[in-house]
Amino acid sequence: MNAIQRGLLLALIQVALVSSLGGKLLYDRATRPRVWVRAAPYDPSTPFRGRYVSLRLITSDVMPGGDHPTPGSTPPIPEGVSTTAPVAFFIPEQVPDPSIRPPGEELWVEVTIPREGPPRPIRLGVRKDGELTPLSLR
């Protein structure tokens, strides 16, 4: 095997590793429960990691996931899932900070509940007058 073939084999292995992680996350999103959780934001930006909103989840306020969530029965959060660790939701550079809300609005985050580890954020939403509306951050 010459140098070019070894280089191509190494590149193929690296692509397979990254693709397997992406596949696992997509599989979890399709098969694991999704819920909306009220969030308390802090530290919206840092120069080293990019632009994101760091969120602490308030697990006493949980609703079923999906496009039109309504209060009701929600899946329980399993024992191994860390709900005390903050989660990071990355936002585009041109979008204003979604964590700054006017009075009367609450920030919520839809998360995938994995078997272990912290919940994985999917999207943000705002609850106002009892109605939860997903935010478009594009």
Query: By C-alpha distance, which of 95, 101, 99 is closest to 137?
Result: 95
Report whether 62 contacts 75 (CB < 8 A).
no
For 45-81, give the DSSP string. EETTTEEEEEEEEEEEEEEE-SSS--SS--PPPPTTB
Report the distance separating Cα 52 and Cα 11, nearest Å. 30
Task: Band the pLDDT of 80: cuts 50, 70, 90.
Answer: low
Per-residue pLDDT of 6-57, as tens digits, reads 999 999 999 999 999 989 888 888 888 888 888 888 765 556 666 788 888 8
Where does the chain have alpha helices with state H?
3-31
The predicted pLDDT at position 88 comes to 84
Per-residue pLDDT of 50-71, as tens digits, reads 678 888 888 777 777 765 555 5
Q: Determine if the pTM surpasses 0.95.
A: no
